[in-house]
Chain A
C-alpha cells in the first residue's frame, strides 16, 4: 500500500490533502487560533499545488473522516488538536494512512508531527521572570476539564513550569483556570490569597487573560509595575490586551507550513523515518513584565524614592 501511494505521490494521485479538526466549540464558533491553523494549512498546501479537504471530526467513526480515509479521497491527512488519547490518530496509524499531526501523543511516534514545546515554553517563561528578579511565580493553566480530557499541552505546560521552578529552587504554585473572564478574576483571588507576596505569573490561558488583568487591578496590582504576567499566546491576542502581553508566540503559520512540508516529504519518500519538529519560539517582549519590586509594605523602604510622578500638567 505504501508503495502504491508512493507511485501516486510521484504520478499524481488525488493531489488533495485532508485536514481533520475538532468541531466548533461551545458557541458554535471557531477560535481565531483554529481559523489561523486552518488557513495556514490551506495556504501552505496551495503553495505546493495541493487542494484541501476539510473534515470537522474528532472521533474515528465520524462519517466525513471515514469517507476521507475509506474512499481515499486524499493523499494524506493532517490532524489538528490531538488529544493524549485520540482514536483518529490510532486509526490512521493502524491503517498506515499517511498523516502528520499538529501536536503529539504516544501514537504519533510512527508518523511525522510538529508541535510547540509547551514544557520548554513554560520553563522559559519562568526563566524570564526569574531573570527579572521574580521569585514568587504562579502558574495559570487551562481548565480542569481540558487538563483531564487530555489535551497534551496543558499537562506539558504544567510539567515545564514545575521543572523550571524546581531548577531555580522556587516553590511552584500551579492553578487550573476556566477559559473565561470570571475564572481569570477568581484565579487571581486564589493566588493572592495563597501568597500575597506573589509578584508574577505564567499563563497558558489566553481566554482568561483579561480576567486575570482585571483581578490584578482589583487587588491594586498594576501591570507591569507591581506584577508581571508572561504567557503563551498568539500574537493578535497578546497585542490586543493592555498592557500588551509579553508572551511566547504560537506560531500558527510556521507550524502549518512545517506540517504541510512534513506531509509532502512523507508522500514523496514514504520509507524515510518520520520527522518530528518541536518548535520553541522565543518570548516576545511586550509590556506586561518588569523588574521585580517588593510589594508595598512587605520590605523595609529603600533609599530610592517612589516612582517619579510623570508630571504632565494636563
Chain B
C-alpha cells in the first residue's frame, strides 16, 4: 500500500511489507516491525497466539496459509483484523522454512499490501515521468548515469550536447557542477541556461533558454542523497524579454554619450548590430546635420535623407556595397518602408513578403543587389522622433540565417530609435547653439586681414573644446597711416555669446581708436574708459543681468609697427606679452610693463619701444595658448619660444607648429594666435627731407618731390604730389613749428607726409568765396585717396595718400 509518511518528509512509493513467522503449529513465533505498522499489534501481544486469530472471520479456507498444511509455498489473499478492529486486506506469501532434513520447521509469511492497483500505479508514475511535457531527468549519484524522459531527449540542448543518450553525461560543465552541488549539499537549486550562440549564422537568432530546477533525491529510509532530479522549463520568451531590456538599458548609457550628431547615430548602429539586426542604417534630414530646426511633425513623402551611420554584422562600419554610401544622400519613394514610417510617424515592419518592399527594392539596382547578396528578408524602419520633431529614420535589417523580426522587435526598435532620437536632437540643438556662437564670433573676427605691407601675417583662432563654448579672444590687424600697422590681440574673460558680443564691441572700439591714430598707451586709456562705461551701462539695464555680465574682465595688447623706423611700440592692458624671434635666431618674450586690466581705470598704461631688425617674427597670442592644467605659464612660454624658433617654410606652418606643440586635442580655453613678420622700407621706398621754416623753401620742396618721383618712375603722380606738397608744407610753415619734415613713401600707395612740432591739428574748413585760405585741405582731400593727421611724440604729421598707377 502506498502511503505517505509525513513524519519522514519524503515521498515513498514502496509497498508495505510485513513479515511474520509462524510455527508449524500455527502459533506466531515472530512479529516484524512492518507487521506492527500494518496491523497495529505489538510483538508481545501476538507472539504465542494462534495466527488464525488474526483472521477476520475464521471461515477462510484460502487462508490456509495460516492453516499450514504442507511444506509448499503458498500465497493468497486474506482479510486481517487490525488491532483497532478494522479490516485489512492483504496478500499473504507463506514460505516454509526448511530444516536440515528438508522438512519444514516453520513458516515465514510475508504480508504485503494487497491492492492489485499498486503495481499499475507505479508503472503509471514511470510513464508519467517518461512522457512528461517538460524535460525531466534523474541522475544517479552512484552510477553517474542519467535517465532522461522523452522531452529531455528531444530537446537535447536542454542538458547539453551529450544528453541525447541516456546515461551519457551532459556536456555543460556549469550544469554538471551545479548537479554535483545539489548532490553534495542536498539543496534544491535553479540553473538557467541559454543555447550556445550559433557561430555560423550572423543572425541575432532568437536564442532558446531554459530554467532547470534541480533537487536532491534521498533514500527515504536512510535519508541519504542518492541522486539528483531535474526538470527544465523553456524560458526563451523570458530570456529574450530580458535581453531586450538589457539592450534598452545599454541604449540609455551608450547612445548619446557625446553632443555630436554623427557619433550618436553611429552609437545606435553599433548597439543594434548584431544584437537586434544584421544590418542597421541611420539616415537623417540634411537640416539636422546642419543643426537647423527641421520641419515639425511628419515629413512629406518622397523624402531625401543623408546616410549618417550604418553597420553590418559581418563587415562592421565599412560596408562598401551598401545601397547608400556614408554621407551620401538618397531619396525614398512614398511607398518605401522608411518613407512610410516617416509619414505615419510609427515604425514599419516589412520584408520580402511585402509587395511595397519588393517594389522599393526593385526600383534600384544597388538595392536589388544588396538584398540578393545578403538575403534580406525582414526590415524594420522606424522614425527618429524627439520632442515632436522628426529627425530621420533608422532601418534595421535581418538577412539570411536569422529569423524574421517579430512584433516585440518592432517595439524594441522603436524604443531604441526613440533614445537615439533624443540624443541626436540634443546634439543638434547643441550644434545649433555652438554654430550660432561661432558664427557670431567669426563675424566679429577679421575674415580677410587688410592688405598692408608692413608685416606679413598669419593667424589662427580656435574655439574652446567641448562644453566650454566659444570665448572672447580676438585679434586684429589695422593698417595705419604712413604704412604703419597696428597689431591687436585681446581676451574677454568668460565664454559664450556674452563674451563674444563684448569682444565685438571692444574690437570695434579699437578699430575706431586706431583709426584716430592714437599712440598705444593713449589708445588703451580710451579703451579702458569705454569698458568702464560698458560695465556701468550693463548695471543700469537690469539688476538681475548683472550676475551674468558682471564686470567685464578684458585684456588687450596693442602694438604699432612702423616699417620705416622699424620700431614697434607696444602697450599692454594686463595681456600676456608677445614673443619675438629675431632674424639671428634668438627668441624671447618681450619685457613689457603689463598694465592693469581693462575696466579697472585710473592706472596708467605704458608704451615700450622695440627696434626690430627686418624679418623679425612677432607672436601675439592669448593666454589660452600657454596656460594648461598640466603646466604653468612659464613652461607654456618656453614651449612657445621653442616652437617659434623651429625652422619652417611659412608663417602658416609656424602657426600650426605652435598650436600642435602647445595645445591638447581639445583646448579648455579658446585661443587666438597672430604671427607677424616685420618688413622694412628701404631708401628706395622712402625719402625724407628736413625743411627750414621759410616760405621760399616750398618751391624747392615741390621740385625735390618731383625729382624723387622721377627717380621712382612715378612721373604720373607728380602733378598731384606737387600740389599736396605745396599745400601741406605751406601750412606747416605758416602754422606749424620747426623742425618741419617732408616724407614720401612709395609702397602700395604713394604717401606724402609733412610733420612739424606743433600739436595743433588742422581742420577741414569750408572756405567762403573770398577767403584766401582754407581751400588747401579741401583740395588735398579731393585729389587724394585719403588724408589724415596723427600725433607724434614731438608734434603732428599730416598725411595724404594717392593710389599708384597700376603696374
In the assembly, what is the distance between CA of A284 and CA of B700, in Å? 13
Contacts of A239 in B (CB 8 A): 683
Q: How far is the CB of A1 from chain B (nearest CB, A)?
A: 37
Which of these binds chain A: B19-27, B511-519, B580-588, B762-770? Answer: B580-588
Chain B residues 683-713 with CB under 8 Å of chain A are 683, 687-693, 697, 700-701, 704, 707
Which of these binds chain A: B173-181, B348-356, B379-387, B608-616? Answer: B608-616
In the assembly, what is the distance between CA of A291 and CA of B794, in Å? 10
Q: Are A282 and B739 in contact (CB under 8 A)?
A: no
| Any A CB within 8 A of the CB of B590 | yes
Report if A310-B738 is in contact (Cβ < 8 Å); known contacts: A127-B692, A282-B700, A283-B689. no
Our pick among B608, B683, B740 for the contact of A131 (Cβ within 8 Å) is B740
| Any B CB within 8 A of the CB of A221 | no
Report if A312-B610 is in contact (Cβ < 8 Å); known contacts: A282-B700, A282-B701. yes
Q: Are B591 and A312 in contact (CB under 8 A)?
A: yes
Interface string of B513-544 (1 = CB under 8 A from A): 00000000000000000000000000000000
Contacts of A312 in B (CB 8 A): 580, 588, 590-591, 610
| Any A CB within 8 A of the CB of B743 | yes
| Any A CB within 8 A of the CB of B742 | yes
Interface string of A279-296 (1 = CB under 8 A from B): 011111110010100000
Q: Are B688 and A285 in contact (CB under 8 A)?
A: yes
Q: Are A285 and B743 in contact (CB under 8 A)?
A: yes
In the assembly, what is the distance between CA of A286 and CA of B683, in Å? 9
| Any B CB within 8 A of the CB of A195 | no
In the assembly, what is the distance between CA of A310 and CA of B609, in Å? 6
Q: Are A314 and B586 in contact (CB under 8 A)?
A: yes
| Any A CB within 8 A of the CB of B401 | no
Nearest residue, chain A, Cβ from B579: A313
| Any A CB within 8 A of the CB of B34 | no
Contacts of B334 in A (CB 8 A): none
Q: Are B690 and A282 in contact (CB under 8 A)?
A: yes
Q: Are B740 and A282 in contact (CB under 8 A)?
A: no
Contacts of A283 in B (CB 8 A): 689-690
Q: How far is the CB of B136 from chain A (nearest CB, A)?
A: 91
| Residue from A235, A246, A285 with most neighbouring chain B CB atoms (10 Å) | A285
Our pick among B588, B610, B691 for the contact of A282 (Cβ within 8 Å) is B691
Q: Are A132 and B739 in contact (CB under 8 A)?
A: yes
In the assembly, what is the distance between CA of A312 and CA of B580, in Å? 9
Contacts of B151 in A (CB 8 A): none
Q: How far is the CB of B659 from chain A (nearest CB, A)?
A: 23
| Residue from B690, B739, B743 with most neighbouring chain A CB atoms (10 Å) | B690
| Any A CB within 8 A of the CB of B589 | yes
Q: Are A281 and B739 in contact (CB under 8 A)?
A: no
Q: Are B582 and A314 in contact (CB under 8 A)?
A: yes
Q: Are A311 and B608 in contact (CB under 8 A)?
A: yes
Contacts of B742 in A (CB 8 A): 282
Q: Are B700 and A280 in contact (CB under 8 A)?
A: yes
Contacts of A246 in B (CB 8 A): 690
In the assembly, what is the distance between CA of A23 and CA of B794, in Å? 49
| Residue from A124, A280, A282, A308 with most neighbouring chain B CB atoms (10 Å) | A282
Q: Are A313 and B582 in contact (CB under 8 A)?
A: no
Report if A128-B690 is in contact (Cβ < 8 Å); known contacts: A308-B609, A313-B590, A314-B586. yes
Nearest residue, chain B, Cβ from A285: B688
In the assembly, what is the distance between CA of A251 and CA of B586, in Å? 41
In the assembly, what is the distance between CA of A131 and CA of B795, in Å? 13
Q: How far is the CB of A254 from chain B (nearest CB, A)?
A: 7
In the assembly, what is the distance between CA of A281 and CA of B702, in Å? 11
Q: Are A282 and B689 in contact (CB under 8 A)?
A: yes
Our pick among A127, A130, A254, A313 for the contact of B588 (Cβ within 8 Å) is A313
In the assembly, what is the distance between CA of A235 and CA of B704, in Å? 14
| Any A CB within 8 A of the CB of B220 | no
Q: Are A310 and B611 in contact (CB under 8 A)?
A: yes
Q: Are B700 and A310 in contact (CB under 8 A)?
A: no
In the assembly, what is the distance between CA of A130 and CA of B739, in Å? 9
Our pick among A132, A254, A308 for the contact of B608 (Cβ within 8 Å) is A308
Q: How far is the CB of B686 from chain A (nearest CB, A)?
A: 9
Q: Are A131 and B690 in contact (CB under 8 A)?
A: yes
| Residue from A127, A246, A280 with most neighbouring chain B CB atoms (10 Å) | A127
Contacts of A281 in B (CB 8 A): 704
Contacts of A235 in B (CB 8 A): 683
Contacts of A291 in B (CB 8 A): 794
| Any A CB within 8 A of the CB of B741 | yes
Q: Are A314 and B588 in contact (CB under 8 A)?
A: yes
Contacts of B589 in A (CB 8 A): 313
Q: How far is the CB of B264 from chain A (nearest CB, A)?
A: 50
Q: How far is the CB of A49 from chain B (nearest CB, A)?
A: 21
Nearest residue, chain A, Cβ from B591: A311
Q: How far is the CB of A32 from chain B (nearest CB, A)?
A: 16
Our pick among B611, B689, B701 for the contact of A285 (Cβ within 8 Å) is B689
In the assembly, what is the distance between CA of A285 and CA of B740, in Å? 11
In the assembly, what is the distance between CA of A308 and CA of B611, in Å? 12
| Residue from A244, A308, A312 with most neighbouring chain B CB atoms (10 Å) | A312
In the assembly, what is the distance between CA of A312 and CA of B739, in Å? 31
Our pick among A124, A244, A285, A313 for the contact of B741 (Cβ within 8 Å) is A285
Q: Are A282 and B704 in contact (CB under 8 A)?
A: yes
Interface string of A79-92 (1 = CB under 8 A from B): 00000000000000
Contacts of A289 in B (CB 8 A): 690
Q: Are B739 and A128 in contact (CB under 8 A)?
A: yes
In the assembly, what is the distance between CA of A239 and CA of B682, in Å? 10
Q: How far is the CB of A106 from chain B (nearest CB, A)?
A: 26
Q: How far is the CB of A153 from chain B (nearest CB, A)?
A: 19
Contacts of B743 in A (CB 8 A): 285
Contacts of B741 in A (CB 8 A): 285
Nearest residue, chain B, Cβ from A281: B704
Nearest residue, chain B, Cβ from A125: B690
Contacts of A313 in B (CB 8 A): 588-591
Q: Are B739 and A284 in contact (CB under 8 A)?
A: no
In the assembly, what is the distance between CA of A284 and CA of B690, in Å? 6
Contacts of B692 in A (CB 8 A): 124, 127-128, 131
In the assembly, what is the distance between CA of A308 and CA of B588, in Å? 19
Contacts of B701 in A (CB 8 A): 282
Our pick among A124, A127, A131, A284 for the contact of B688 (Cβ within 8 Å) is A284
Contacts of A308 in B (CB 8 A): 608-609
Q: How far is the CB of A164 from chain B (nearest CB, A)?
A: 10
Contacts of B591 in A (CB 8 A): 311-313
Nearest residue, chain A, Cβ from B707: A254
Contacts of B590 in A (CB 8 A): 311-313
In the assembly, what is the distance between CA of A156 and CA of B794, in Å? 34
Contacts of A132 in B (CB 8 A): 739
Chain A residues 82-138 with CB under 8 Å of chain B are 124, 127-128, 130-132
Contacts of A285 in B (CB 8 A): 688-690, 741, 743
Nearest residue, chain A, Cβ from B683: A239
In the assembly, what is the distance between CA of A291 and CA of B701, in Å? 22
In the assembly, what is the distance between CA of A282 and CA of B743, in Å? 12
Q: How far is the CB of B291 from chain A (nearest CB, A)?
A: 46
In the assembly, what is the distance between CA of A308 and CA of B569, in Å? 12
Nearest residue, chain A, Cβ from B580: A312
Nearest residue, chain A, Cβ from B577: A313
Q: How far is the CB of B726 from chain A (nearest CB, A)?
A: 14
Q: How far is the CB of A128 from chain B (nearest CB, A)?
A: 4
Q: How far is the CB of B645 from chain A (nearest CB, A)?
A: 12
Interface string of B197-217 (1 = CB under 8 A from A): 000000000000000000000
In the assembly, what is the distance between CA of A289 and CA of B689, in Å? 12
6 new A-B contacts, CB < 8 A, other than A251-B707, A314-B586, are A131-B738, A282-B700, A283-B689, A285-B688, A312-B591, A313-B589
**Can you spell out 14 A-B residue pairs with CB atoms less than 8 angstroms apart?**
A124-B690, A131-B739, A244-B683, A282-B691, A282-B701, A282-B704, A284-B687, A284-B690, A285-B689, A286-B688, A308-B608, A312-B590, A313-B588, A314-B588
The interface of chain A, by Cβ under 8 A from chain B, is 124, 127-128, 130-132, 235, 239, 244, 246, 251, 254, 280-286, 289, 291, 308, 310-314
Nearest 6 interchain pairs by C-beta: A131-B738, A285-B688, A131-B739, A282-B689, A311-B591, A313-B588
